[in-house]
Structure 1
Amino acid sequence: MQKKNLSTKAGVILAQSDTTIGFFSPDCHRLNAAKHSPKNKLLLQVCPHFLDLPRVPLKQRPLVRRKKATFVYKGREHGRAFRVVQDPSVLVFLKRLGVVFSTSANLSGQDYTPEIALDLADTIVEDERGLTPKEPSTIIKLGHAHKRRLR
């Protein structure tokens, strides 16, 4: 059976991530439009492999490999946020999508509502865990020598 490219057909995907329920899409503008967020709002990028990450400061690499968190650091263009997913349930679909943008499954500035999340999604991926909101990931801002916890 030939693998289908999910990234072009899936649109906005609603799924349980390794932390909480969220939206995924290869197009950040599509996610911002669905959530009624500003067009230029920067979003987290979720990666299935460590090799997909942009260059991480050498001193911070061990932390990025061992800690289940979102990391923000300055890239060549501007600050970027990344998280490598290691949960096998999430990797099932994430490996087929590759690096995608991710955000919480709610309207901008509002709490999670299942009906709204289901309405905004084009594709729903549900596994044995179901779709339940949980604590979001820790956010750590990395510098060349220092780190700071943002959430």
Structure 2
Amino acid sequence: MNKILLAQTDTTVGFLSQNAKRLEEIKMRSGDKPFLKVYAELKNLSRDIRIPPLHKHRVRHSKKTTFVVKNQAFRYVSTPEHAALIKPYRWLYSTSANESGKSFDETFCRAVSDIIIEDHRGLSEQSASKIFRLTPSHLKQLR
């Protein structure tokens, strides 16, 4: 999917796509910083990322939490609205809807998006997710 979606995610308003290059261009962000992947189904997540056994329960029951395993950031979303958006694609890259280092500007976001999805929540900037690094034996909070 090369389209850029603008939607309210489980945390804040975000850009979603499977095209990392296009997201980099829109956000004016360097290519050396990877985007996080969001999954709505654990079976798809487990195909791409091996979660250390110690943390499987934590990931399965997480809410508004991003995890990092071996420099791959991911989030499992269980909110029905956001999960329904992701399921048809298996996974999507996700990033906050703004230019890198700037705050949310709805006019800018609407101009650069191919598809705008608004539900009963509308589009609003909210707090970002918590971030944890997972290793086989440890959990470290990064944000």
Scaled by the length of structure 1, the TM-score of the pair is 0.88
The two structures, once aligned, show a CA RMSD in angstroms of: 1.1
Structure 1 gaps of 5+ residues are 1-6
Give the aligned residue type for 1:70: T
Tell me, yes or no, if structure 1 residue 118 matches structure 2 residue 110.
yes
Helix, strand or coil at the partner of 2:72: strand
Deviation, structure 1 residue 42: 0.3
Q: Residue 105 of structure 1 contacts residue 112 of structure 1 at CA under 8 Å; is this kept in 2?
A: yes
Q: 1:87 aligns with which of 57, 79, 87?
A: 79
Helix, strand or coil at the partner of 1:33: helix
Tell me, yes or no, if structure 1 residue 65 matches structure 2 residue 43.
no
Deviation, structure 1 residue 109: 0.7
In the alignment of these two chains, the number of paired residues is 139
Identify the residue that residue 103 of structure 1 maps to in structure 2.
95
Structure 2 gaps of 5+ residues are none
Identity, % of aligned positions: 37
Tell me, yes or no, if structure 1 residue 135 matches structure 2 residue 137.
no
Helix, strand or coil at the partner of 1:148: strand
Helix, strand or coil at the partner of 2:15: strand
Q: 2:39 aligns with which of 30, 36, 47?
A: 47
Runs of 4+ in 1 over 3 A off after TM superposition: none
**Distance in structure 2 (CA, Å) of the matches to 1:55 and 1:39:** 24
Give the aligned residue type for 2:68: V
Helix, strand or coil at the partner of 1:119: helix
**Distance in structure 1 (CA, Å) of the matches to 2:76 and 2:83:** 10
**Distance in structure 1 (CA, Å) of the matches to 2:62 and 2:83:** 17
CA deviation string 1:78-116 (max 9, x = no partner): x10010111111122211122110000000011111111
Scaled by the length of structure 2, the TM-score of the pair is 0.93
